């Protein structure tokens, strides 16, 4: 019995860590059930082109987010996206998705490859949920599993790009919305100097349709478990006394 009681804090700590609920770091994907109808939105190209002739044309839609010490372990990233243009433009033909995390918007404007993290997720690992808009083109919310532990609390920038051939599958865009956020997302095109009037970045004046989930740091849940165990043991002692 003594051995079991001595192990109980560790057992409860492990159990709570394993079942810790996801923390919402950012949620800017419009849900009509929450926000009602009438939200304006438009798509902006966010794509890593696999065609050699278009390799300098890579673009990214980027928005800022902030993490605390307890929410810097990112586990899931979602984006409301649309395919359009030439070819079949179907999500089934997408090669994969690139998730880029940047330290500053200036760094992102210089290179769409993330300087904090840059990961490729094959399309087979992505999940698509419903239709985001009824505008006639294929569109959905894509959810990407990640395992990214950010180096420190603070502000970062997120970009999600479809890795895709424009020649055979058209373009991929991320929605920007008149969302109740800070309306400071950007579209970046470092390789196309003149595309935005001679600069590689433009402000969209809306919020990028991104969602970020994290798992709370294990130490937080372990402390709660130890505290709960202490309460149980104290109650037992009082009952026996």
Distance CA 95, CA 28 (A): 25
Query: Is there a domain that residue 191 lies in?
Result: yes
pLDDT: which is higher, 27 or 232: 27
Residue spans of alpha helices (H) in 38-185: 105-110, 166-169
Query: Is there a domain that residue 236 lies in?
Result: no
Query: Is there a domain that residue 190 lies in?
Result: yes
Average per-residue pLDDT for the chain: 79
Q: Cα–Cα distances in Å, from 220 out to 10, 155, 199, 216? A: 13, 21, 44, 7
- Angle 209-173-162 from CA coordinates, rounded to 5°: 100
Whether residue 217 has pLDDT greater than 50? yes
Whether residue 26 has pLDDT greater than 80? yes
Query: Is there a domain that residue 239 lies in?
Result: no
b/e 174-206 (16+ beta carbons within 10 angstroms → b): bbbbebebeeebbbbbbbeeebeeeebbeebeb
Query: Is there a domain that residue 147 lies in?
Result: yes
Query: Domain of 142?
Result: 22-215
Model confidence at 86, pLDDT cuts 50, 70, 90, reads: confident
pLDDT for 62 equals: 97
Residue owning tokens 């424009």: 166
Query: Is there a domain that residue 227 lies in?
Result: no
Query: Is there a domain that residue 3 lies in?
Result: no
Distance CA 120, CA 92 (A): 17
Structural domains in the chain (count) = 1
Query: Is there a domain that residue 5 lies in?
Result: no
pLDDT for 150 equals: 98
Say if residues 12 and 228 touch (Cβ distance below 8 Å): yes
Whether residue 99 has pLDDT greater than 60? yes
Percent of the chain with pLDDT over 90: 50
Half-sphere exposure of 47 (CA within 13 A, CB side): 28
pLDDT for 8 equals: 42
pLDDT for 15 equals: 45
């Amino acid at each position: 019995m003594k051995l079991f009681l001595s192990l109980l804090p560790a057992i409860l700590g492990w159990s709570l860590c394993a079942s810790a609920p996801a923390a919402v770091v950012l949620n800017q994907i419009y849900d009509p059930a929450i926000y009602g109808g009438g939200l304006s939105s438009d798509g902006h190209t966010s794509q890593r082109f696999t065609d050699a002739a278009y390799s300098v044309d890579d673009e990214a839609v980027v928005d800022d987010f902030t993490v605390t010490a307890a929410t810097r372990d990112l586990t899931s990233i979602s984006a409301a996206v649309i395919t359009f243009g030439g070819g079949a433009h179907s999500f089934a033909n997408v090669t994969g998705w690139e998730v880029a995390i940047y330290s500053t918007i200036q760094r992102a404007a210089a290179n769409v490859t993330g300087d904090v993290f840059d990961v490729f997720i094959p399309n087979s690992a992505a999940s698509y949920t419903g239709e985001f808009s009824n505008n006639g083109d294929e569109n959905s919310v894509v959810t990407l599993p990640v395992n990214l532990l950010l180096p420190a609390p603070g502000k970062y920038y997120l970009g999600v790009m479809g890795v895709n051939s424009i020649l055979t599958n058209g373009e991929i865009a991320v929605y920007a919305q008149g969302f109740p956020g800070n309306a400071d997302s950007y579209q970046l095109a470092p390789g196309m100097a003149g595309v935005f009037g001679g600069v590689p970045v433009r402000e969209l004046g809306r919020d990028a349709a991104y969602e970020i989930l994290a798992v709370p740091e294990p130490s937080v849940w372990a402390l709660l478990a130890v505290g709960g165990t202490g309460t149980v043991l104290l109650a037992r002692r009082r009952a026996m006394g």
